[in-house]
Amino acid sequence: MRIATWNVNSITARLPRLLAWLESSGTDVLCLQEAKVAEAQFPVEALRELGYESAVHATGRWNGVAVLSRVGLEDVVKGLPGDPGYEGAEEPRAVSATCGPVRVWSVYVPNGREVDHPHYAYKLQWLDALKTAVAGDAAGGRPFAVLGDYNIAPADDDVYDRAAFEGATHVTPAERAALAALRETGLSDVVPRPLKYDHPYTYWDYRQLCFPKNRGMRIDLVYGNGPFSGAVKDAYVDREERKGKGASDHAPVVVDLDV
C-alpha cells in the first residue's frame, strides 16, 4: 500500500500535474494540503475517473485539505475537534478518514507568520488540539498516521542554514516542543534519515533560486503509530515532482507499507 502527502499549493493550478502523478506513482492514498478552493470547486469527478474517492474540507481561496483514496474511504471527520480557531473562525486545516486497513489525518498546520504575531500563538494552540484529537488512534492497534505540512522543521539539519532562520518561525523551541508532545502520544517520524541524498527537504521557496540551490526545509512529515511504523517498507521524497514548469513549492512524501 502506498500512502503519500503533498501540499499542492492550489489544486486548480496543479491539477494536470496531480492527475499525471497519481497515475505514474501508483499511490493508493494521498493526503493533500492547500487545496485553495471551495468544496464545490474541488475536482471530485476528475479524480473519480482515476478511481479515487475524495474527502474534502475546504472553504475557499485559503487553506483546504483532502484525503484521496482508491482503497476505500470511510468514517470521514472534517475539521479538528477542539480547534481553537483564528480571529473567531475555524479554518479548514484537518480531515481524517479510514482507507482500507489504515486511518489517516491530512493536516495543514498554521504557518505562525512571526513569533510575536497572534498567528504564532494560534499555531501552538492548534498543535495542542491536534495532540488531544489524535491520542486515541495513536495509542490504538490499527495502523494510523498524521500526514501533512506541519510548517515546522523538526531539527536544525532539516533546514539548509539554521542561521538564516534566526528569530523566525518553523524552528523555535516552542514549535519543536509541540511536535515532541505530539510524538509522545505514540507517533514517530517514519521517514528515515538520511535518504538517498543528504538533505531530504520537502519545501523550497519559489524565490531566489531556492530549489536549484537546494535551500530547502523538511516540513512535510509523516508521523505514524507503532503498527503503521512497523509496516513501513520504504519512504522517500519525490524531489523530481518539484522540478519544471507549474510545480508546487512542496514535493510529495511517499511511504510504502506492507499491510
| pLDDT of 143 | 98
Q: Which residues are annotated as a binding site?
A: 7, 34, 149, 151, 249-250
| pLDDT of 236 | 92
The pTM (predicted TM-score) of the whole model is: 0.96
Task: Note if 223 is an active site residue.
Answer: no
Residue 140 DSSP class: S
Overall domain count for the chain: 1
CA gap 62, 177 in Å, rounded: 27
pLDDT over 70 at 10, yes or no: yes
| pLDDT of 173 | 98
Residue-range definition of the domain harbouring residue 114? 2-257
- Domain of 118, CATH number, reads 3.60.10.10
Q: Which residues are annotated as a binding site for Mg(2+)?
A: 7, 34, 149, 151, 249-250
| pLDDT of 198 | 59
- Strand extents, DSSP E, the chain: 2-7, 29-33, 53-57, 65-69, 74-78, 94-99, 102-108, 144-149, 188-189, 203-204, 216-217, 220-224, 232-237, 253-257
pLDDT over 80 at 203, yes or no: yes
From 83, 149, 158, 220, the catalytic residue: 149
Task: Note if 108 is an active site residue.
Answer: yes
| pLDDT of 61 | 86
Mean per-residue pLDDT of the chain: 96
Task: Say which residue, 157 or 170, is predicted with more confidence.
Answer: 170
From 108, 120, 160, 203, the catalytic residue: 108
For 84-140, the pLDDT digits (tens) are: 999 999 999 999 999 999 999 999 999 999 999 999 999 999 999 999 999 999 999
From 83, 160, 236, 250, the catalytic residue: 250
pLDDT over 90 at 195, yes or no: no
CA torsion sign for 127, 249, 51, 91 is positive
Q: What is the mean pLDDT of residues 150-168?
A: 94
Task: Note if 149 is an active site residue.
Answer: yes
| pLDDT of 20 | 98
Could you count the other beta carbons within 10 Å of the beta carbon of residue 121?
A: 16
pLDDT over 80 at 194, yes or no: no
| pLDDT of 196 | 53
The cell 512524501 sits on which residue?
A: 253
Strand partners, 104: 97, 145
Residue 199: pLDDT band by 50, 70, 90 thresholds? low
Could you count the other beta carbons within 10 Å of the beta carbon of residue 122?
A: 19
Q: What is the mean pLDDT of residues 215-242?
A: 96
Dump the DSSP string for 164-202.
GGTT-TTS-HHHHHHHHHHHTTT-EE-S-SS-SSS----
Q: What is the mean pLDDT of residues 17-42?
A: 98
| pLDDT of 13 | 97
Residue 200: pLDDT band by 50, 70, 90 thresholds? confident
